[in-house]
Amino acid sequence: MTDYSTYTADDFVFDDAFRRWVRGSATPAEQMFWETYGIDHPEQAAMLAQARQVVLALQAAEPELSHAEVTATIRRTVERMGDVQPDVPVRSLPVRRWDQHPAVRVAAVLVVILGLGWALWPTVQPDERTVSYQQLTRQADQQLTEQHNATSQPQQLTLPDGSRVTLQPGSRLSYPARFALDSRTVYLTGDAFFNVVRNPGQPFLVHANELVTKVLGTSFRIRAYEQARETMVEVRTGQVSVSVRPGVVTAGKTAGSQEQAWQGVVLTPNEKVVFSRPEARLTKMLVEEPAMLIDKPAEVAFAFTDAPVTEVFQALEKAYGVDIIYDREVMRQCLLTISLTDESLYDKLTIVCKAIEARYEVLDAQIVVSGKGCQ
């Protein structure tokens, strides 16, 4: 591998592998290399950040070309293809019954598999209450670029503002070649993790099914398949606001009210919201595996000696950014000597609760601990 330790920002800008990584077309090996290179060489961090911005910012000016122009030219080409005679003689195939043809057999198996999948997969039929990706991208007032992950591996891409997106197989993301000055708007169908570059003056908006997710700079995941009954937004860092598009009739708080208010929630780390499309209802809850909010979770030790359990709860609340509800008066009497490290949040809670003969439940986005206390 090239020795990058003596590289300046300019050298990185002109390095093929570095450019591929920044522009999102790196091989998985290169991807891995650059992700770790920055961590291993903190002394070059500023240089790498600078080179990265230069690669993204320095472009060749390209003329506008509307989607309609592309489609029209392709249509004319396909029409012309029909007029020309192919120069390859059509080979005659041996005659066989249609159902003996291998393609027919494969197709038959596929029909069965797809049929089963269709029946088992919770789906929603499009109606006036649902909003499709097609509709969203068609209504966009900017010319959009689409990334479709047709592979079986997650794909990394970098948006014009430097934000990074991991697109799961089968998912599509549309975004303008240049973001508008007042907002960064993208459109998603499928499953993607976003790591958004912070820019309070230019909020980042993700339109996915009936939800609009708005952030200033954070990381979060959205799962919004066209046919799925549920759309989900999960927050890793920062704050995210999620609202239902105006015009979508929602249940819950706004039910019964005359005006169509926006239904929305604010999510903090380790929270997620699930939108049930048939009921048009938002439900806030905790993510399945809450992660610690600090950078190096391995180094955090929860060690307590004869401490009130309320202190343990407070430490967990702080580390994971969750709310733990308990009766302070009752729990204050429970003293605990315990050392917790890399267990998951729920495992930690199980251990603590076992020690004080209590139990916990996760209700919406809160954890409720109940027990008799310690006398």
Partner 1 sequence: MRPSTRLDENTLQGLWQRLLQGEGGVMESLMQAVFRSLFHYGTKFTTDHELVKDCIQDVFVDVWLHRSAVDAHIPAKAYLMASLRRKIHRKSIKQGYFQPFGEADELRFQADFTVQDAIISDEATRQTAYRLKQLLDLLPKRQQEVIYLKFFHDLDREHIAGVMGVAPQTVSNLLQLALQKLRQYASELPLLSLLLPLLS
Shorter beta-carbon distance to partner 1: residue 70 or 325: 70
- Cα angle at 49 between 46 and 50, to 5 degrees? 85
Q: Residues 6 or more apart from 208 whose CB is under 8 A from it?
A: 133, 187, 188, 189, 222, 224, 231
Shorter beta-carbon distance to partner 1: residue 16 or 364: 16
The C-alpha atoms of residue 101 and residue 110 are separated, in whole angstroms, by 14
Q: Closest separation between CB of residue 95 and partner 1, Å?
A: 20
> What's the distance, Cα to Cα, between the start and end of the chain in Å?
65
Interface with partner 1 (CB under 8 A): 9-10, 13-14, 16, 19-20, 23, 25, 50, 53-54, 56-63, 65, 67, 69-70, 73-74, 76-78, 80-81, 84, 86-88, 145-148, 150-151, 155, 157, 160-162, 177-179, 181, 202
Shorter beta-carbon distance to partner 1: residue 85 or 125: 85
Q: Closest separation between CB of residue 17 and partner 1, Å?
A: 11
CA neighbor of 130 nearest in space, from 263, 254, 277, 342: 277
Shorter beta-carbon distance to partner 1: residue 149 or 213: 149
Shorter beta-carbon distance to partner 1: residue 126 or 176: 176
- Within 216-270, strands assigned E span 219-224, 230-237, 240-244, 264-267
Integer angstrom CA distances of residue 169 from 65, 123, 150, 165, 208: 28, 19, 6, 13, 16
The C-alpha atoms of residue 232 and residue 221 are separated, in whole angstroms, by 8
Q: Closest separation between CB of residue 356 and partner 1, Å?
A: 49
